[in-house]
Amino acid sequence: MSVNTNTSVRARTRELVQLAWETLLFRHEVYVGHVARADALKRGLMLLVAATLVAGMSSLAINLVSDLRPMSVEAQRQQAAQGVEEFLKSFRTMRDYYDLPPGLEEQIVAYMKAGMEMGFRIEELPTRLPKPVGRVLTDLGAFLSLPFSRMAGWAGYAIWVLLVAKLLGGRATVAQQLGTTALYAVPHVLDILGSVQCLGGIARLVATVWGIAIYVKAVAVANEFSIGRAIVATVVPVLVGGTLALMGSLAMVLFLALASA
């Protein structure tokens, strides 16, 4: 029984790896075959989860090394002070463009320092588990939650793209749309290089562009229409969201200006 199970798992793993590789190569027949399968959503989700976890392994390793290395409270305070200074630099740059209320900077710094002091006091409290163990468990929890964070953004955006695609004559079902667009995550395995100096930025850029291209291809195949319509369906939700965000920012600036008048 166990031998058959292991063989089945290996066969499915090989199948998913093959799907991922041919997705990266934009094999049209592979996309079409994937959409036609009843388990397209399941396979897409498995690849999305696997790619996200692989991409997060480097950050996990860095966090584990950092948390297992003992750091004094004084060193933590210095690190926090540097973070406050970085924030103040950004805040002062923003202040040059917006008419912010007087004394706002001092209030924000006071709140930040009070919050950090509370955090340091909590850090000094005794715990049931040794503190390194708690930090390791926190790192593992954050690592395992990465796929859920990616899925939340991907699923919401995919539904909006599907709505636009329907207006353009698209034929995809929700399962087909989600199962196929999930393939965009495959090139993001390159994000594992994100912590490598110089190379990390290039790897992320390549993964992003590659992922967008796969997303457009997936939308076109799932909805059985042209690449041009797929680009429109993919871009329109971004434009609408960007417009709404800009309107919200302008409203906030107007509110601050009126409040300081």
What is the DSSP annotation of 91-140?
HHHHHTTS-PPTTHHHHHHHHHHHHHHHHHHHHTS--SS-HHHHHHHHHH
What's the pLDDT at 71?
A: 60
Going by pLDDT thresholds of 50, 70 and 90, the confidence category of residue 88 is confident
Average pLDDT (100-120) is 73
Most confident of 88-92, 131-135, 188-192, 251-255: 188-192
Average pLDDT (18-47) is 94
Q: Each residue of 149-179: pLDDT tens digit?
A: 999 999 999 999 999 999 999 999 999 999 9
* Residue closest to 156 by CA, chosen among 178, 171, 131: 178
- The answer to whether residue 119 scores a pLDDT higher than 90 is no
Going by pLDDT thresholds of 50, 70 and 90, the confidence category of residue 139 is confident
Q: Each residue of 230-260: pLDDT tens digit?
A: 999 999 999 998 998 889 888 888 877 776 6
* Residue closest to 65 by CA, chosen among 112, 1, 132, 127: 132
- The answer to whether residue 136 scores a pLDDT higher than 70 is yes
The Cα-based distances of 98 to 62, 92, 101, 179, 183 in angstroms read: 38, 10, 9, 44, 42
- The answer to whether residue 106 scores a pLDDT higher than 70 is yes
Average pLDDT (43-52) is 95
- Rounded CA-CA distance 114/112 in Å is 5
What's the pLDDT at 94?
A: 66
Residues in contact with 177: Cβ distance below 8 Å, sequence separation at least 6, in sequence order:
158, 159, 161, 162, 165, 219, 222, 223
Q: Each residue of 177-218: pLDDT tens digit?
A: 999 999 999 999 999 998 888 888 899 999 999 999 999 999
Average pLDDT (48-76) is 82
Output DSSP code: residue 168.
T
Show the tokens assigned to 36. Answer: 């036609």
The domain of 62 spans 2-260
**8 A C-beta contact, residue 220 and residue 227:** yes
Percent of the chain at pLDDT > 70 equals 85
Residue 215 CA from chain centroid, whole number? 15
Q: 237-253: string of b/e by CB count within 10 Å (b at 16+)? A: beeeeeeeeeeeeeeee
- The answer to whether residue 38 scores a pLDDT higher than 70 is yes
The Cα-based distances of 151 to 158, 227, 248 in angstroms read: 10, 24, 25
What's the pLDDT at 54?
A: 94
Q: Is 195 helix (H, G, I), strand (E, B) or coil?
A: coil
- The answer to whether residue 261 scores a pLDDT higher than 70 is no
The Cα-based distances of 35 to 40, 88, 256 in angstroms read: 6, 50, 50
Number of domains forming the structure of the chain: 1
- Rounded CA-CA distance 73/124 in Å is 9
What's the pLDDT at 97?
A: 63
**Comparing 240 with 107, which gets the higher pLDDT?**
240
pTM (2 d.p.): 0.76
Instruction: State the burial class of residue 1 (Cβ atoms within 10 Å of its Cβ: 0-12, 13-18, 19+).
Output: exposed
